[in-house]
Amino acid sequence: MKSSRRKFLKLAAVSALGLGAGRIGFLGDAPAGAMDIPTAADYNAPREAKHWGMAIDTTRFNQELVDTCATACHTQHNVPTIPGKKGIKWFWGANFEESFPTEHGHNLPEDVEHRTYPLLCNQCEEPMCVRVCPTQATFKRADGIVMMDFHRCIGCRYCMAGCPFGARSFNFQDPRPFIKNFNPLFPTRTRGVVEKCNFCAELLALGKMPACVEASGGALIFGDLEDPESDIRKVLRERFALRRKPDAGTGPSVYYLM
Ligand code: SF4
Ligand code: SF4
């Protein structure tokens, strides 16, 4: 394939992920400190899976590593730090009780109730958020990723009420003035739009791993839950793991290795 055609197809794949303009941001919005725009040569073939999942090695996490991963995620997705109670979060940390309210520490290592647990959208197999969204602004892909189409979001917040994990944030105000390191390859959002972790679908399409996984130093294992030879399946065979709120019946794709 000629390099010009290859370049066109790669850029088309980025456009197909909704990384263009609309009610959300576009390249012309670039604030000071914008990150460099990679060239087509920086990209590899898309990463694909039947069912993307994540395993979190909770023995390796503390608040510092949570902050490192959160910074990587939020920088990649133009999620600014907004002071007060109206902040947006895609990746954050919490204690055992908040993370696993239906679990008790019995029969688990003694320190489980003193760890800091990373939290993010669980990319549920039966996502309540998708079921209640009236405009299909949130939908589940064939590979299990629960996506947001920011253009379709009308800000009703039914999805926030439906999610048992508090994984979604609402833009009560325009977040753009708070963005410090603008990433031109991911859309900014406006006031009135809901957002959450997308398992870095835009990076997978470019052959890359999720930003938090790259930043975690091996504490986050990402892969295909339907591939018995994948690293995530291997570690889930070897280690005891919990999923959050199993009684909610949503089937999280995020596992916590204890
Ligand atoms: S964790 Fe919440 S937002 Fe994420 S897929 Fe499940 S129900 Fe939807
Ligand atoms: S998978 Fe991507 S979007 Fe989700 S928390 Fe990690 S960095 Fe953020």
Relative to the alpha carbon of 199, which ligand is closest?
Answer: 2
pLDDT of 38: 66
The alpha carbon of 129 and the centre of ligand 1 are apart by a number of angstroms equal to 6
- Cβ neighbour number for residue 98 with a 10 Å cutoff: 12
Ligand nearest to the CA of 146: 1
Distance (Å, rounded) from C-alpha 221 to C-alpha 62? 17
In a domain, 106, yes or no: yes
- What does the DSSP assignment read for 162-198? H-TT---EE-SS--GGG-SS--TTS----TT-EE---
Write out the chain's pLDDT in tens, 258 residues: 444 444 434 444 444 444 433 344 443 345 545 666 667 666 789 999 999 999 999 999 999 999 999 999 999 999 999 988 889 999 999 999 999 998 876 778 888 999 999 999 999 999 999 999 999 999 999 999 999 999 999 999 999 999 999 999 999 999 999 999 999 999 999 999 999 999 999 999 999 999 999 999 999 999 999 999 999 999 999 999 999 999 999 999 999 999
User: Is residue 29 situated within a structural domain?
Assistant: no
pLDDT tens-digit map of 144-175: 999 999 999 999 999 999 999 999 999 999 99
**Ligand found nearest the CA of 90:** 2
Residue 225: inside a domain = no
Asked if residue 98 belongs to a domain, the reply is yes
Host domain of residue 180: 61-208
Q: Rounded to whole angstroms, how far apart are CA atoms 107 and 104?
A: 9
Q: Is residue 39 part of a domain?
A: no
Q: Is residue 11 one of the residues assigned to a domain? A: no
Ligand 1 centroid from CA 54, angstroms: 14
- 199 vs 210: CA distance, rounded Å: 6
| CA 36 – ligand 1 centroid, Å | 32
Mutate to test the pocket of ligand 1, among 92, 140, 146 (most ligand atoms within 8 A of CB): 146
**Three-class SS state of 225:** coil
Does residue 200 have its Cβ closer than 6 Å to ligand 2? yes
Q: How far apart, in whole angstroms, are the C-alpha atoms of residue 88 and residue 193?
A: 11
Write down the pLDDT at residue 84: 86
Q: Give, using CA atoms, the residue closest to atom 6 of ligand 2.
A: 212
> Contact, 79 vs 85, CB < 8 A?
no
Taking the CA atoms of residue 233, residue 13, residue 132 and residue 174 in that order, the dihedral angle to the nearest 10 degrees is: 110
Residue found under tokens 């490192």: 68
Residues 19 and 185 sit within 8 Å (Cβ to Cβ): yes
Ligand 1 center from residue 168 Cα (angstroms) = 8
Determine which residue's CA is closest to atom 2 belonging to ligand 1. Answer: 163
Closest CA to 193 of 162, 164, 136, 152: 152
- How far is the centre of ligand 2, averaged over its atoms, from the C-alpha of 56 (Å)? 12
255 lies in some domain: no
Q: Are 219 and 56 in contact (CB under 8 A)?
A: yes
CATH number of the domain bearing residue 106: 3.30.70.20
Question: 């990587």: which residue's tokens?
Answer: 72
The upper half-sphere exposure of residue 223, i.e. CA atoms within 13 Å in the direction of its Cβ, equals 17
The ligand whose atoms approach the alpha carbon of 148 most closely is: 1
Q: What lines the ligand 1 site, CB under 6 Å? A: 121-124, 127-129, 146, 163, 165, 167-168, 196, 250
End-to-end CA distance of the chain: 47
Q: pLDDT for 109-148, tens place per residue?
A: 888 999 999 999 999 999 999 999 999 999 999 999 999 9
Q: Is 236 left (phi over 0), alpha (psi -120 to 50) or beta?
A: alpha
Number of structural domains (the chain) is 1
Nearest ligand 1 atom to alpha carbon 146: 5
